[in-house]
Amino acid sequence: MELFDVVIIGGGPIGIACGLEAKKQGLSYLILEKGPIANSLFNYPVNMQFFSSSEKLEIDGIPFISNEAKPRRNEALEYYRRIVTSNELKINLFERVEKVEKQDDKFTVKTSKSSYVGSNIILATGFYDLPNKINVPGEDSPKVSHYYNDPHFYASQKLAIVGASNSAIDAALECYRKGSEVTLIIRGPEVGQRVKYWVRPDIINRIKEGSIKAYYNSTIKEIRETEIDIKTSEGKVTLENDFVLALTGYMPNFDFLKKLGIELSKDNKLLPTYNPDTMESNIKGLYLAGVICGGMETHKWFIENSRIHAPLIIKAILEQ
């Protein structure tokens, strides 16, 4: 098996940035991605607009030109795809990593298609794969989804959306404007404070005028074929319902991290152990990059503030 200086697990923006930096510094590398280029971004809602402006999504100083100051999903996919292709990055797509084993000072990476050996590993897998479940009867029903794609699907339907973050609020507004009868079920007393500042007034006004119904301090308790039960501060409410979007956030694959031997904090944040100067984990030669560094605090790391991980890691590898 070919020996690589570094094997990068994850072909999203930060994994791509690590590949660019490795190539620039003359290291042999391989990026492994279980889906298409920037798989997580590909699975974002079709109309999604970033909170960050385009220049803050740039990697390796390559200009990102968008139609608006804050680019949309399709523009980001174009940008990162062009970086991969124009720089001829070595990336294997639709190849899932199944196991990583360390023996002596080398890592063996076993995938759905082959095996590879690396002197170093960079884990840049993000957090979008595993949804935070609401754990209620009926959650596994076909009418329930933890991912939102296109509002057209929900036109003329009674749609319940669980959550109060950007993903839930974007979905509520888009689906309402495509003709859905939207009900928001919000655990807290208000719409989330981290909702995009140009979107938050919109959803608040739609709720005030009655276009979108919102239940605050409420949780969904049961999902049935044509109804849902909601626990509110005033008691149980039963609503007619066609579909449920449970947009309650996502988490890294902690089981995979544990199998690698990465230590996690003992509190509910589950923060992985790493050196912030080098991004090296408690396992020598295994580095963390991107939002995976935040454990359950997935809102703290974005493309714009984790781009720096790539040069930090490659510098540390070169200085070994």
User: In the predicted model, is pLDDT for residue 1 greater than 80?
Assistant: no
Asked if 241 and 160 count as a contact pair (C-beta separation under 8 A), the reply is yes
pLDDT of 156 above 90: yes
Residues 277, 228 within the same domain: no
**Domain match, 126 and 170 both:** no
> At which of 212, 246, 280 does a domain end?
246
Q: pTM value?
A: 0.89
Give tens-digit pLDDT for 102-150. Answer: 999 999 999 999 999 999 999 999 877 788 999 999 999 999 999 999 9
Q: pLDDT of 14-50, one tens digit each?
A: 999 999 999 999 999 999 999 999 998 998 889 998 9
Q: Tokens 């008691």, residue?
A: 235
Distance CA 274, CA 264 (A): 10
Residue 146, domain extent = 133-246
Between residues 231 and 51, the one the model is more confident about: 231
- Give the pLDDT score at 127: 79
Q: Kindly state whether residues 20 and 98 are assigned to the same domain.
A: yes
Quick one: CA dihedral 5, 283, 273, 99, positive or negative? positive
Confidence of residue 82 (pLDDT cuts 50, 70, 90): very high
Question: Do 38 and 118 lie in a common domain?
Answer: yes
Per-residue pLDDT tens over the stretch 246-300: 999 888 889 999 999 999 999 989 999 999 999 999 999 999 999 999 988 877 8
Q: How far apart are CA 71 and CA 102, in angstroms?
A: 40
Choose one of 231, 246, 261: the last residue of a domain.
Answer: 246
Query: Distance between CA 272 and CA 74 in Å, rounded?
Result: 32
Give the chain's radius of gyration (CA, Å): 21
Q: Are 10 and 33 contained in the same domain?
A: yes
Q: How far apart are CA 161 and CA 199, in angstroms?
A: 16
* Count of the separate structural domains present in the chain: 2
Q: What mean pLDDT do residues 62-71 have?
A: 93
93 contacts: CB under 8 Å, gap ≥ 6: 11, 33, 35, 36, 37
Question: What was the pLDDT predicted at 237?
Answer: 97
User: Rounded distance, CA 33 to CA 37, Å?
Assistant: 7
pLDDT recorded at residue 301: 79
What per-residue confidence (pLDDT) applies to 80? Answer: 97
